[in-house]
C-alpha cells in the first residue's frame, strides 16, 4: 500500500469504528479480512495509527474545536500526522494524497485549519482533553482519585503489556522462560502473580509453541490476581457465572489441579465457542460450559446447583474502563445512560448468583473497571440487600493464595498506573455458615 492508501484506510477505519458500538479490534479484523492485498507492514501501520488517534482523541478534538474545525476522522487523522509524526504541512499533499486509493484532495482551507490547530496554545487545555478522556468520565475519576486522576488518565495513552499466565498443570514458569528466551522473546516475571510473565519486547506469539501446546494462556496480571483471590481448592464445586471465553475458569482449574467441578455460565454460547479447544490444549476436563437461556429453562439449573457451590465467581459485564488502553474507542462510546444500565445489570447478576453459594461459601465479585459505581458501590449495596454475607478483606487472603508482595486493602482495586496491569476490582464476600 502507498502512504496515501494507508492514510485512506486509517480514516475509513476511524469512520467505521465511530459508527458502531463494537470494539475497534473487531472492525480492524473485518477490514483486513476483505483486503488481503495489505501486507503485514501495512496492517501494522494502519492499526497503530488508528489506535493512536483513538487514544489521543481528546487532544485532537480540543485543538480542532479551538479553531472551529470539524472533529471528524479525516481531520483527526491529518492533525495526528502533523502533531505526532512531525509531518510538515507543506508536504502532506505530496506524501499522503494522490493515487486511486487515496483520500480526496487536500484543500487550502484544511491546510489553514491544520496549521492553526497545530500551533494552538496548550496552557489552557483542560484536564479531560490533556488526559484524553470524555469530560464526564474525567470528572468522575477526579472525584474518586483526586490528584492521581491526571496520572491515571495519562497512562491510558500507552499500549497495554502482553501478559501470559503459565499453565501449572503442564509446565513451570521457569521452563516457559527458557523456551521463550531460546527464541529471542524476552520476558519478565509479573509483579504479584506467581504464574505470570510479561513480554518486554514486541513479538507476535499467537502461533508460538507455548500457546499452541497449552503451556500458557494470554491473561492480564490483574485477572490472574483476581482468579487467585477466589481461593479455590482441589475437589471444590465452583461456578464461573459470567465466564466469557473462559480465561478465569482455566486459571482456577489450574489452581484446583484439575480436580473438582467448574460450571462455566454465560448467556451467550458464541462467547464460549472456543472453550472446548482451550480446555483440550490446557489438559483441563473439569470445566462444563452452561448456556443460560434467561427463561424458564434456567430454573432447573438453579434448582440443581442452588446453595451447593463453595465458590461463585462473578466477573460482571462492565464499562471495561480498566482495559481502555486495549480498547480506547470504548471510552468515547460509553454514556451515562449506558453506565447506569450496566450498574443495574450488575446488581441483578449478583442477586441471582448469590443463590448458588453454599453456606460458608464465597461470592467473588470482579470487574475490569476503575469506576466506583461498578465496584465498591455495587458491593456496599449488595451487602445491604443480603446481610447474610460479609466481606473477607483481600489483605487476609493475599499471602495464603500465593500472591507476592502484599495488599493492605479490603478489596483489590487496581488502575493501570499502579504497576502496569489493566484496571481491575475484586471483592470477596462470604455467606454465613
The pLDDT tens digits for 215-269 are 999 999 999 999 999 999 999 999 999 998 899 999 999 999 999 999 999 988 8
Question: What residue segments make up the domains of the chain, in order of their start?
Answer: 3-125, 163-218, 230-431
User: Does 33 score more than 90 pLDDT?
Assistant: no
> Looking at the whole model, is its pTM more than 0.75?
yes
343 noted as active-site residue: no
Length of the chain counted residue by residue: 433
CATH number of 163-218: 3.30.70.1170
Dihedral through CA 350, CA 352, CA 353, CA 355, nearest 10? 130
User: Does 316 score more than 90 pLDDT?
Assistant: yes
pLDDT tens-place string over residues 322-370: 999 999 999 999 999 999 999 999 999 999 999 999 999 999 999 999 9
8 A C-beta contact, residue 154 and residue 204? no
Residue 242 CB burial class (10 angstroms; 0-12, 13-18, ≥19): buried
8 A C-beta contact, residue 199 and residue 232? no
Least confident of 45-49, 75-79, 175-179, 293-297: 293-297
Superfamily classification of domain 230-431: Vaccinia Virus protein VP39 (3.40.50.150)
* pLDDT, position 112: 95
**Residue scoring higher pLDDT (372 or 98):** 372
| Confidence bin at 429 (pLDDT 50/70/90) | very high
Catalytic residue selected from 53, 242, 343, 368: 368
* pLDDT, position 269: 84
Q: Tell me what percent of the residues of the chain surpass a pLDDT of 90.
A: 83
User: Does 36 score more than 80 pLDDT?
Assistant: no
Amino acid at each position: 500500500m502507498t502512504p496515501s492508501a494507508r492514510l485512506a484506510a486509517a480514516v475509513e477505519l476511524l469512520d467505521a469504528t465511530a459508527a458502531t458500538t463494537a470494539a475497534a479490534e473487531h472492525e480492524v479484523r473485518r477490514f483486513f479480512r476483505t483486503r488481503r492485498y495489505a501486507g503485514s507492514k501495512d496492517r501494522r501501520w494502519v492499526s497503530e495509527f488508528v489506535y493512536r488517534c483513538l487514544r489521543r482523541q481528546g487532544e485532537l478534538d480540543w485543538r480542532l474545536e479551538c479553531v472551529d474545525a470539524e472533529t471528524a476522522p479525516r481531520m483527526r487523522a491529518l492533525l495526528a500526522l502533523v502533531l505526532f509524526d512531525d509531518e510538515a504541512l507543506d508536504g502532506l499533499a505530496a506524501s499522503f494524497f494522490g493515487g486511486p486509493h487515496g483520500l480526496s484532495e487536500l484543500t487550502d482551507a484544511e491546510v489553514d485549519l491544520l496549521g492553526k490547530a497545530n500551533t494552538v496554545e496548550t496552557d489552557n487545555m483542560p484536564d479531560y482533553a490533556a488526559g484524553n478522556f470524555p469530560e464526564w468520565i474525567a470528572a468522575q475519576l477526579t472525584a474518586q482519585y483526586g490528584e492521581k486522576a491526571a496520572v491515571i488518565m495519562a497512562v491510558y495513552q500507552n499500549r497495554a503489556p502482553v501478559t501470559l499466565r503459565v499453565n501449572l498443570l503442564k509446565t513451570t514458569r521457569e521452563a516457559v522462560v527458557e523456551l521463550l528466551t531460546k527464541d529471542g522473546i524476552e520476558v519478565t516475571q509479573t509483579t504479584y502473580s506467581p504464574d505470570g510473565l510479561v513480554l518486554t519486547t514486541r513479538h507476535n506469539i499467537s502461533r508460538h509453541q507455548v500457546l499452541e501446546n497449552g503451556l500458557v494462556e494470554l491473561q492480564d496480571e490483574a485477572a490472574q490476581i483476581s482468579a487467585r483471590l477466589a481461593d479455590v481448592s482441589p475437589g471444590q464445586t465452583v461456578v464461573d457465572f459470567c465466564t466469557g471465553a473462559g480465561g478465569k475458569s482455566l486459571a482456577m482449574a489450574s489452581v484446583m489441579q484439575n480436580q473438582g467441578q467448574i460450571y462455566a455460565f454465560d448467556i451467550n454460547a458464541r462467547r464460549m465457542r472456543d472453550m472446548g479447544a482451550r480446555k483440550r490444549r490446557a489438559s483441563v476436563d473439569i470445566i462444563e460450559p452452561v448456556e443460560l437461556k434467561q427463561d424458564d429453562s434456567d430454573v432447573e439449573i438453579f434448582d440443581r446447583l442452588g446453595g451447593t457451590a463453595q465458590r461463585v465467581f462473578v466477573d460482571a459485564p462492565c464499562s471495561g474502563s480498566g482495559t481502555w488502553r486495549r480498547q480506547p474507542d470504548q471510552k468515547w462510546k460509553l454514556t451515562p445512560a449506558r453506565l447506569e444500565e450496566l450498574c443495574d445489570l450488575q446488581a441483578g447478576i449478583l442477586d441471582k448468583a448469590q443463590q448458588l453459594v453454599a453456606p460458608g461459601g464465597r461470592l467473588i465479585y470482579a470487574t475490569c473497571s476503575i469506576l466506583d459505581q461498578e465496584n465498591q458501590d455495587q458491593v456496599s449495596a449488595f451487602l445491604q440487600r443480603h446481610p447474610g454475607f460479609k466481606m473477607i478483606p483481600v489483605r487476609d487472603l493475599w499471602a495464603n493464595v500465593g500472591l507476592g508482595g502484599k495488599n493492605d486493602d479490603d478489596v483489590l482495586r487496581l488502575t493501570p498506573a499502579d504497576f502496569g496491569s489493566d484496571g481491575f476490582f475484586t471483592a470477596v464476600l462470604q455467606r454465613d455458615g
